[in-house]
Amino acid sequence: HDHDHQHSDHDHPEHNHAEADHEHEHEHEHEHGELEQDWHVWFSPAISQRVAEQLAEQLIQHYPQQKEKITANLAEFTQQLTEKNSKLSKQLSAFADKGFYVFHDAYRYFENAYGLKQTGYFTINPLIAPGAKKLAEIKQEIEEHKVQCLFAEPQFTPKVIETLQKGTAVKVGKLDPMGEKVSLGKGSYSAFLQQIADDFSVCLEK
C-alpha cells in the first residue's frame, strides 16, 4: 500500500524530519551544507552594500526628481558601513582562534567577513530542554573541539538555556539574527552589525 510505503525504511531523507534534524547536528554534515545557497545575506556587509547601490539605482529610475537625496543617502550609508566594518574587524580580531557552536546556521557571512571561527552547529528544539542523550552529544563535541561558547537565540526558553549551561562547561550566549532590538532608522544596519559583534564578544572573551 502507498500508506505502508510512507513508513518504510526506504523513505527519502526529506520525508523523515527527525533523521534530517539529527544529521544536521554535526560538523561534517555542515560541510556538506556549504554547497547549498545561504540566504542569510543580511549578515554580509559586502552584499548589503551592493544591495544598497542597486536599490538606489532603481529608486532613481522611478523617482528621478529625488536623485540628489537618494545619492546622498547612499553616500551616508556607505560611509557608515565602511567605518563600522573597520571598527568591527578590530573588535573581533581578538577572537579569531576561539571556537564556538551555534544552534542556527545563519552567521557564515558575518563570520567570514570578520574572521570568526564557527566550529559547527547543533539542531535542537528551542522550546524543549534537550535530554540526557542530546546533552551528552553536545558535551562530547564541545570537548573534542575545545569550544568556548554556545550561541542560542531569542526564541530559546530560559529552561533550555539553563539545561545547556548545567550540562556543559562552556558559556551560553545569545544572538539575535533578526535584529529585533534594533530600532529602524538611519544607521540601523550598522547598529545591527554592532549588536551581533557585541553579542559574540561578550561570550567569547574570557
pLDDT per position in the chain (206 positions), as tens?
544 444 444 444 444 444 444 444 444 444 444 446 888 999 999 999 999 999 999 999 999 999 999 999 999 999 999 999 999 999 999 999 999 999 888 899 999 999 999 998 888 888 888 888 888 888 888 888 888 899 998 888 888 888 888 878 789 999 999 898 899 988 999 999 999 999 999 999 87
pLDDT of residue 155: 86
pTM (two decimals): 0.77
- Which three-class secondary structure state does DSSP give residue 101? strand
Q: pLDDT (tens digit, 9 = 90+) per residue, 188-206?
A: 999 999 999 999 999 998 7
CA distance 5 to 170: 44
CA distance 120 to 99: 9
pLDDT of residue 121: 87
- Which three-class secondary structure state does DSSP give residue 110? helix
pLDDT of residue 74: 97
pLDDT of residue 36: 67
DSSP assignment string, 143-197: HHHTEEEEEE-TTS-HHHHHHHHHHSSSEEEE--TT-TTSPPSTTHHHHHHHHHH
Residue 93's φ and ψ, nearest 5 degrees, are -65, -25
Q: pLDDT (tens digit, 9 = 90+) per residue, 33-60?
A: 444 688 899 999 999 999 999 999 999 9
Q: Domains in the chain, start-ordered, CATH in brackets?
A: 40-206 (3.40.50.1980)
pLDDT of residue 156: 87
CA distance 161 to 176: 15
- Which three-class secondary structure state does DSSP give residue 116? coil
pLDDT of residue 22: 42
pLDDT of residue 142: 85
Long-range CB contacts (within 8 A, 24+) of 197-202: 197/88, 197/91, 197/92, 197/114, 199/151, 199/173, 199/174, 199/175, 200/92, 200/95, 200/100, 200/116, 200/151, 200/173, 200/175, 201/91, 201/92, 201/95, 202/173
pLDDT of residue 129: 81
Read off the C-alpha cell for 93. Answer: 580580531
CB 101 within 8 A of CB 150: yes
Can you tell me which residue has the cell 529625488? Answer: 66
Q: How wide is the angle at C-alpha 97 spanned by C-alphas 91 and 98, nearest 5°? A: 80
